[in-house]
Structure 1
C-alpha cells in the first residue's frame, strides 16, 4: 500500500500475470490450487507416510541401505510398483526429491522426518540432492 501526504492509504495495484488475466497473482495461484483440489488431482496421492501403513499391510521385504553412489539406477528413472504392492521411501540421512510422473510440477522432499508412501501402479522417480542414505520398504 502507498501512503499519501495526508496519511490515508491507497490500494496497491494488482500484479497482472498477463494481459488476458485481470487479477492479483496470489488470487490466481490460489484459484488454480483450488481447481486442482476440486478436480481430484491430489486425491489418492499420499504425501508422507502415516504410522498406520504397517498396521494395515504386511511388510514383505526392503532394499539394502543405499547412498548416492550405490543407489539402484532404476530408482532414478520413471518406474512403478506392481498392483497390490506399496513402497515406503525412508531417507536415513540427507534428503531426496520425489516426483509422481503424472504431475511433475509437484516435487516432494523426503527426509528422515518425512518418509513417503509409494502407491502401486503409479509412475514415479527419485531425484538425489547430494549425499544421502535411503531404503525402500515394500508392503502388501
Structure 2
C-alpha cells in the first residue's frame, strides 16, 4: 500500500545538530504538511492551539498540519528528520 510521497525532506538531525529554529515556535506554510520521523530515540512535538504534546518515536511518526504552531523538545540521544507533503501524509482517524 503506497501513500503520499514527500516532495522535500530536511537533513537528518541529532540532539546536537537540531537547529534552534525547530526548537522554537514555528509552523509550515499554507498547503504544506510535515511528518516528523524519529529514526532513533524520542522527541516531543508540542502544539500550541489547541495545546497538546505528542511523543514521537520510531514507531510513532507525527503529522504536522499546515500553519500549525509547534516546536520540538529532545530527550537525550535521538536522530530525526521532517518530510514535507502537499497532502496529509498519514491516514485520518
2:50 aligned with 1:103, yes or no? Answer: yes
Tell me the equivalent position of 2:26. Answer: 79
Compute the RMSD of aligned alpha carbons: 1.5
**How far 1:91 moved relative to its partner?**
0.1
Q: 1:7 aligns to what?
A: none
Q: Does residue 1:116 correspond to 2:56, yes or no?
A: no
Q: Distance in 1 between matches of 2:29 and 2:47?
A: 15
More strand by share: 2
- Report the TM-score when normalising by structure 1: 0.58
Secondary structure at 2:37's aligned position in 1? strand
Higher helix share: 1
Once residues 87 and 124 of structure 1 are traced to their aligned partners in structure 2, the CA distance between those partners, rounded to angstroms, is: 11
Higher RCO by CA contacts (8 Å cutoff, separation 6 or greater): 2
Q: Deviating runs (4+, > 3 A) in structure 1?
A: none
TM-score, normalised to structure 2, is: 0.85
Gapped regions of structure 1 (runs ≥ 5) = 1-50
The alignment of Structure 1 onto Structure 2 pairs a total of residues equal to 86
The unaligned stretches of length 5 or more in structure 2 are 87-93
- Find the counterpart in structure 1 of residue 84 from structure 2: 138
| Structure of higher CA gyration radius | 1
Q: Which residue pairs with 1:70 in the alignment?
A: 17
| Secondary structure, aligned partner of 1:74 | helix
